[in-house]
């Protein structure tokens, strides 16, 4: 309740100003100290400030800092508030609280501020891994006719269909091992979860983490895209154990009300 009240107060400020303040980088600041000081996770800061380089913050540089952890989302097509809330795994009320005028549908191209805090909390206690993105599975793990190369190839993960800009969340806690371009994968994040287990998030339009950063299960880390060898916006998601690819579905919660599996007979 207190959180909702705080969000309403921010919404009132937001109507007059905006959802963020401009902060000028001071001597001694690091992205870590700014994140700590404002209580905004590093991936959220990086999403707001695409030009910021972790190793090269400049004194006097202006950063956008949101009042609460949250990111701007611009739907590519008109969507219902209820769908938007699923993309972020938050309650619709939390989105309404900061965007009181949006109503029950959001027009394509209209920017909405969406809080991201501890997302996916309904699954964090129950599941070891969580679904990294809301969408439906458009391609399963295993042998398939490759949609671009048109020959039988092994699909090393699952593809979850989602619009460009859809938030991607860490499926499990761990340390970022890779964050950058990789042939075929396009923009790729690899998270090392220990005991030889890694998760891969590919074709991203935006990477909001860097090598060495520790992320927790459910943390916002990136945005869906179509980079690399891809036929359209989707998240290619892999689970590897000792560098062997496994069917990610075997690790993910089965009773998930948000992510719909494609019916195999379709």
E strand or H helix at 125 = none
Which positions ≥6 away from 28 have C-beta within 8 Å?
Answer: none
Over the window 233 to 262, marking each residue x when it contacts Zn ion by CB under 5 A and - when it does not, the resulting string is ---x--------------------------
Query: In the structure encoding, which two tokens stand for residue 233, read together?
Result: 């916006």
Residue placing its CB nearer to Zn ion in the complex, 37 or 184: 184
Question: And the tokens for 154?
Answer: 């092994």
Find the binding residues for Zn ion in span 31-60 (CB under 5 A).
none
- Are the CB atoms for 39 and 117 separated by under 8 Å? no
Q: Which listed range, 26-34, 64-72, 126-134, 232-240, lies at the site for Zn ion (CB under 5 A)?
A: 232-240
Q: How far is the CB of 223 from Zn ion (least distance, A)?
A: 17
Give the residue with the Cβ less far from Zn ion, 86 or 236.
236
Q: How far is the CB of 185 from Zn ion (least distance, A)?
A: 9
> Which of 159, 163, 198, 238 lies at the binding interface for Zn ion (CB under 5 A)?
159
Q: Which is nearer to Zn ion, 159 or 198 (CB)?
A: 159
Q: By CB under 5 A, which span of 110-118, 154-162, 171-179, 218-226 interacts with Zn ion? A: 154-162
Residue whose CB is less far from Zn ion, 175 or 182: 182
Q: Least distance from C-beta 248 to Zn ion, angstroms?
A: 10
Alpha helices of the chain — where are they, by DSSP H? Answer: 2-16, 31-38, 42-48, 81-88, 92-98, 121-124
Distance in Å, CB of 237 to Zn ion, minimum: 8
Give 159 or 219: the residue with its C-beta nearer to Zn ion: 159
For 24, other C-beta atoms within 10 Å of its C-beta total 10
User: Torsions phi, psi of 112, nearest 5?
Assistant: -125, 140
The minimum distance between CB 182 and Zn ion, in angstroms, equals: 13
Number of residues lying near Zn ion (CB under 5 A): 2
Instruction: Return the sign of the alpha-carbon dihedral for residues 223, 228, 233, 239.
Output: negative
Looking at residues 105 to 134 of the shown chain, list those that interact with Zn ion (rule: CB under 5 A): none
CB nearer Zn ion, residue 99 or residue 234? 234
Q: Give CA–CA dist 120/49, Å, rounded.
A: 24
Rounded to 5°, the CA angle 53-57-59 comes to: 155
Closest listed residue to residue 114, CA positions, set 189, 37, 166, 163: 166
Q: Which residue ranges make up the site for Zn ion (CB under 5 A)? A: 159, 236
């Amino acid at each position: 309740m207190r959180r909702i009240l705080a969000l309403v107060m921010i919404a009132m400020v937001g109507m007059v100003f905006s959802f963020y303040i401009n902060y000028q980088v001071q001597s001694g600041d690091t992205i870590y100290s700014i994140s700590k000081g404002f209580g905004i996770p590093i991936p959220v800061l990086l999403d707001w400030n695409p030009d910021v380089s972790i190793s090269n913050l400049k004194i006097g540089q202006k950063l956008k800092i949101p009042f609460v952890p949250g990111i701007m989302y611009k739907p590519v097509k008109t969507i219902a508030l209820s769908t938007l809330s699923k993309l972020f795994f938050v309650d619709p009320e939390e989105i309404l609280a900061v965007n009181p005028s949006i109503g029950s549908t959001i027009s394509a191209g209209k920017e909405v501020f969406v809080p991201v805090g501890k997302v996916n909390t309904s699954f964090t206690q129950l599941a070891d891994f969580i679904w990294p993105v809301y969408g439906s599975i458009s391609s399963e793990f295993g042998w398939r006719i490759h949609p671009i190369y048109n020959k039988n190839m092994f699909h090393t993960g699952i593809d979850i269909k989602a619009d460009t800009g859809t938030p991607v969340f860490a499926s499990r806690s761990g340390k970022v091992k890779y964050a950058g371009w990789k042939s075929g994968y396009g923009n790729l994040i690899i998270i090392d979860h220990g005991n030889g287990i890694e998760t891969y998030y590919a074709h991203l339009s935006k990477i909001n983490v860097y090598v060495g950063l520790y992320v927790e299960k459910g943390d916002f880390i990136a945005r869906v895209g179509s980079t690399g060898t891809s036929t359209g916006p989707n998240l290619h998601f892999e689970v590897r154990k000792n560098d062997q690819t496994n069917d990610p579905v075997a690790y993910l919660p089965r009773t998930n009300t948000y992510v719909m599996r494609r019916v195999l007979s379709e």
